Amino acid sequence: MATTRHWADFQYEIYLNGMTGAVPRLPTDLTRLEELAGHRLGPGPVGYVAGSAGSGSTARANRAALDRRRIVPRMLRDVHERDLSVEVLGRPLRAPLALAPIGVLSIMHPDAECAAARAAAARGVPYILSSASSTPMEQVAEAMGDGERWFQLYWAKDRDVTASFLDRARAAGYTALVVTLDTPLLAWRPRDLDQAYLPFLHGVGTANYFSDPAFRAGLAKPVHEDPNAAVTHFVGMFADPAKTWPDLAFLREHWDGPIVLKGILHPDDARSAADAGMDGVVVSNHGGRQVAGSVAAADALPRVVEAVGDRLTVLFDSGIRTGDDVFKALALGARAVLLGRPYAYGLGLDGQAGVDHVIRCLLAELDLTLALSGHAGPGSLTPDDLTGESA
Ligand SMILES: Cc1cc2nc3c(=O)[nH]c(=O)nc-3n(C[C@H](O)[C@H](O)[C@H](O)COP(=O)(O)O)c2cc1C
Ligand SMILES: CCCCC(=O)C(=O)O
């Protein structure tokens, strides 16, 4: 009998380690990480990561939309050999998961993006580096070796900065470009406002910008001589509320790899993405951090899949916390999911090992949920595997 290595093997590894008295350093229920991080890390950083727009209704709706859908398990379907691999944007992945772009991770841990990226690379999970990273993109690339990496673009007002980012990303081996459209401005975020805390203004640099020649060319003085001016320049130019759909032609001309638009919720926007020659979309409301009162991401997903599922790669994020959440997103038609806050907490609590723990827990739970529901891999999932609101 073939001995396939399954993600679920992590379960036995934990029990076997327990025979020597060891228990996992972090909870295996990833929903518990936020509270733990709240006890161990500063209120500013944890508030920034955990917080969302307005009164938090979108973040709550994201959870409710996933919880409301229930899995209908099937029996006697030979699931002893399982394979979670999928192809995404022409790249073979070991599992339908990528780490979402999260800016300024140095507020969570001094090893910041490099630690998260190393953990992802070691498990064969793509790492999506934020434009607003606290580490230059070249350094993160080096930390990852040949790990799969994608670059998230905040589409700057300054064309030269955007062009420079694309050149640097290409040279550093980032294969796909993820263009975030839902953050032309930062939303009203009361948890940060009440603490008057924004990482960039608290001495946490976005070294990815500060190390960029085109960005530096826009400063009157070098960053070290006037860091406040550099931060102010960053906040004023990192995104551009004046952009419209025809502007995508610039990105298509300057990037020859796959381009994915992140933050799509309306089927017509998904169609526009396909018409503009894009390769994929991420159905996402930025984890509830941008539009308060927004449609839940899982409620938007089926309509986007129906509109463009045959033309574009549809990815999903916002609210994923457990293996069954991933199952549900895939059953609704997503090709893979992005994970946000849980890995940031894992990083904050235990560095690279904490991110590794989060990846392994999520994928072990997904593997077991698939198996126990009668699926040997993501390929056999359909909306019929869920109750009720599959549309
Ligand atoms: C602290 C924090 C920073 C983020 N920074 C970025 C960013 O720089 N670029 C981006 O496209 N999305 C950013 N996001 C959004 C994530 O990529 C992702 O869409 C979201 O976290 C998914 O929801 P989840 O946290 O519920 O998994 C950020 C999210 C958090 C929590
Ligand atoms: C200026 C970077 C914004 C980071 C971000 O996307 C978020 O806080 O949600």
Ligand 1 centroid to residue 244 C-alpha, Å: 22
Q: Residue 389 has what pLDDT?
A: 61
Q: 24-72+91-380: which CATH architecture?
A: Alpha-Beta Barrel (3.20)
Give per-residue pLDDT as tens, 267-307: 999 999 999 999 999 999 999 999 999 999 999 999 999 99
Q: Residue 205 has what pLDDT?
A: 76
Q: Which of 109, 233, 286, 375 is catalytic?
A: 286
pLDDT at 159 over 80: yes
State the closest ligand 2 atom to the C-alpha of 287, by its place in the atom list counted from 1: 9
Residue 102 beta carbon below 6 angstroms from any ligand 1 atom:
yes
Task: Quote the ipTM score.
Answer: 0.99
Annotated binding site: 48, 101-103, 130, 152, 154, 180, 189, 262, 284, 286, 289, 317-321, 340-341
State the closest ligand 1 atom to the C-alpha of 182, by its place in the atom list counted from 1: 11
Q: How far does CA 173 lie from the centroid of its chain? A: 19
177 CB-side CA count, 13 A: 25
Give 19-87 as a DSSP string. TTT---SS-SSGGGHHHHHHHHS-HHHHHHHH--STTSHHHHHHHHHHHHS-B----SS--SS----EE
Pocket test for ligand 2, best of 289, 290, 318 (most atoms within 8 A of CB): 289
Residue 209 beta carbon below 6 angstroms from any ligand 2 atom:
no
Give per-residue pLDDT as tens, 213-262: 999 999 999 999 998 999 999 999 999 999 999 999 999 999 999 999 99
Residue 200 — very low, low, confident or very high, per pLDDT cuts 50/70/90?
Answer: confident
Give per-residue pLDDT as tens, 7-44: 999 999 999 999 999 999 999 999 999 999 999 999 99
pLDDT at 2 over 50: no
Ligand 2 centroid to residue 367 C-alpha, Å: 31
pTM to 2 decimal places: 0.98
Q: Pseudo-torsion of CA 345, 347, 353, 357, nearest 10°?
A: 30
CA angle 137, 278, 256 (to 5 degrees): 50
Is 286 among the residues known to form the active site? yes
Residue 132 beta carbon below 6 angstroms from any ligand 2 atom:
yes
